[in-house]
Structure 1
Amino acid sequence: MTASAPPRPRMLVVGDVMTDVIVRPDGPLVVGSDRRAKIGLYPGGSGCNQAAWLAHFGIPVAFAGRVGRRDLAEQEQALRDAGVVPVLSADDERTTGMLIVILSEDGERSFLTDRGANDGLSAEDLPFSMLNQIDLVHVSGYSLFTPGPRAAVMALMAVARARGITVTVDPASVGFLEEVGPSNFLGWTSDASIIFPNAEEALCLTGTRNTAEQIRFLTARYDLAVIKRGAEGAEAANLSVRLKAPAPKVEVADTTGAGDAFLAGFLAAHLAGKGIDACLHRGVEAGARATTVLGGRPTAGDPLPRVWGEV
């Protein structure tokens, strides 16, 4: 029997492909000596994680990115296994990106990042034809922090907007935001209509800790600002409404991918035609429950349902 073809993607995610090395030390690091730890390898990359969560919530989605050639078949299969249509390019010089995640006792993370093949993403990897029949393009901010990938992604975003396709973006990394300058990032993402910063990224982009001023600043530049505030939940606002949602109480195992699950939950509800309030609450629920499992992607044992109602 011939396998049925996957449904036409409604969304295109452009972003990074990483292998996550997650390290959970048994206690504080001992400089110059040993500390016992649990170490595991997981598929990662913010954009890949977001695509996997979107597929988990029933959204037909494609992911575009770049990997080392020797990993191409494995990375494509990992995306297919997650329900994502892979659109990967192979890099003959760089290896697939790698990220070391060091977890503290409360599940918070510190990162060491080798971007690898992600920094070779080019216009040839992102032909405008991939926008055909797409309803929404989401861009992981990691794709904008290096000149070559940035030019390719910005061109794709501009064409998407010109075609009336919704473009969304998440800043992805406060460290890289500070490195490139927030004003530059704001300019690079002017074709996006929705932005998804976390609390630290919102502070960096706006230059203020006052949450009301953050909202005013961002909604003057984007149609909708959705700010993830960790244990405090999240809020979403446009020029006429500001809504908040508290975070459910859960036992945190690993916060890796929580923001990616939040974004996927929000956008899955958005594509289903839900209002901002429903989108926000579904995002918060997804993000909170994602912290109860290790790694940044959904697995067979995830506590979240694969499809939420009409989504």
Structure 2
Amino acid sequence: MSGRIVVVGDVMTDIIVVPEGPIVVGSDRRSSIRSRPGGSGANQAVWLASAGADVSFAARVGSADRAGYETHFRERGVASVLAGDKDMQSGMLVTIIDADGERSFLTDRGANLNLGIDDLPDSLLEGAAMVLVSGYSFFAPGPRKAVRNLLERARARGLAVAIDPASVGFLHEVGPTQFLDWVGPADWIFANESEAETLTGAADFEGHVQALGQQFGHVVIKRGRFGAVVGDRTGVVLSRAAPLVRMVDSTGAGDAFAAGFLAALLKGESVETCLDQGIANGARAVQFVGGQPQ
């Protein structure tokens, strides 16, 4: 497989909070607070470009921020197609990182909630080989209608489709059956273990792969510090361990993994190499604060 990859997903401003200790309810806690560009789709697009992929990214942002975001993506090798929203501000995400590098999120998706069919024109698909959609786009009616329409057009053109479920919390809210129905058949799914368990009800990653393989041609389960596996409806066909690294912030690690894997896939590399590249990208991502490569 070779060609351009089209990414659709959220753009967010990440407010990253690293407290010096446990949060004191009703009082103060000294913290490091930083602002970084983020959003699952945006992170994936930038990581893909950093891995040498030809990538276009479509999203919706607040009108006041549009020019700044266009510059941000252009400087990082991403061809962005951003719609400006006059009524809603760009999305914002507060990330609180604990002493172990684990994250908790407070999310205001803002203009992302107004993504519409007109924001995803046919020109996006010209010359493309694959469409990658973040699961966040399925969790609100407007974006869901828009991305389902885009995926229909992509399938009609014979393009590969990849899905990243993105949020186990939202999956619990809408229910796994409903989510899988919205997504429809796809060539690839990139899920972490919690997402896979929610979607399948299976107890182990072998069961996750077999169950998801009934709907998706290829299943990739991201297992964090334990690495990742690839398989299909027959079960796991390949497993790789992750290197031991010091975790600073796990934000964007899954996005980095998917980008590394797909960038290698689009270059025609073997599945083994794709998995190795995905794991290497994920390990790199956890070693600094923020969801996009530095």
Class of the TM-score when normalised by the shorter of the 2 chains: over 0.9
How many angstroms apart in 2 are the aligned matches of 1:279 and 1:188? 27
Q: Which amino acid aligns with 1:265?
A: G
SS in 1 for 2:128: coil
- Residue 234 of structure 1, CA deviation: 0.6
Q: Mark the runs of 5 or more structure 1 residues left unpaired by the alignment.
A: 1-8, 300-311
267-276 or 240-249, which deviates more: 240-249
Alignment equivalent of 1:217, drawn from 211, 214, 230: 211
Aligned to 1:19: 13
Task: Identify the residue that residue 308 of structure 1 maps to in structure 2.
Answer: none
Q: Does 2:66 align with 1:72?
A: yes
Q: Distance in 1 between matches of 2:205 and 2:117?
A: 37
Give the whole-Å Cα distance in 1 for the aligned partners of 2:15 and 2:233. 41
Residue 257 of structure 1: CA displacement? Answer: 0.7
| Distance apart, 1:244 and its partner CA | 0.7
Which residue of structure 2 lines up, in the alignment, with residue 285 of structure 1?
Answer: 280
Assess if the C-alpha contact under 8 Å between 1:157 and 1:192 holds in 2.
no
Tell whether 2:62 aligns with 1:55.
no
Of 135, 139, 142 in structure 1, the residue corresponding to residue 129 of structure 2 is 135
Indicate the residue corresponding to 1:275 in structure 2.
Answer: 270
Match of 1:203 among 190, 197, 221: 197
Which structure 2 residues correspond to residues 217-256 of structure 1 after superposition, within 5 A? 217-239=211-233, 242-256=237-251
Report the secondary structure of 1:172's partner residue: coil
* Bigger strand share: 2
Q: Structure 1-normalised TM-score?
A: 0.92
Corresponding residue of 1:261? 256
Aligned equivalents of 1:187, 1:77: Cα separation in 2: 36
Per-residue CA deviations over 1:234-282 (Å, capped at 9, x if unaligned) read 1010245521111110011111111111000000111011121211111
Q: Do the aligned residues in 1 keep the contact of 2:56 with 2:124 (CA within 8 Å)?
A: no
SS at match of 1:143: helix
2:119 paired residue among 114, 125, 130: 125
For 1:19-168, what aligned pairs fall within 5 Å after superposition?
A: 19-168=13-162
How many residues align? The count is 292
1:118 partner amino acid? N
> 1:171–1:196: 8 Å Cα contact kept in structure 2?
yes
Is the 2:57–2:80 contact (alpha carbons within 8 Å) kept by the matching residues of 1? yes
Alpha-carbon RMSD across the aligned residues, in angstroms, is: 1.2
The one-letter code matched in structure 2 to 1:61 is V
CA distance in 2, matches of 1:211, 1:43: 32
Question: CA separation in 2, counterparts of 1:234 and 1:89?
Answer: 35
The runs of 5 or more residues in structure 2 that have no matched partner are none
Amino acid at match of 2:108: D
Q: Does the residue aligned with 1:138 lie in a helix, a strand or coil?
A: strand
What is the CA deviation profile of residues 131-157 of structure 1, one whole-angstrom value per residue up to 9, with x for unaligned ones? Answer: 011011100111110011101100101
Residue in structure 2 matched with residue 3 of structure 1 by the alignment: none
Q: Which amino acid aligns with 1:197?
A: A
Of residues 178, 181, 191, the one that matches 2:175 is 181
- Return the TM-score normalized by structure 2: 0.97
- 2-side partners of 1:276 and 1:114: how far apart? 36
Aligned letter for 1:116?
G
Q: Deviations over 1:91-147 (max 9, x none)?
A: 111100000000000111000000100000000101122101101110011111001
SS at match of 1:102: strand
List 4+ stretches of structure 1 deviating above 4 A.
none
Q: Whole-Å Cα distance in 2 between the matches of residues 49 and 230 of structure 1?
A: 17
1:158: how far off? 1.1
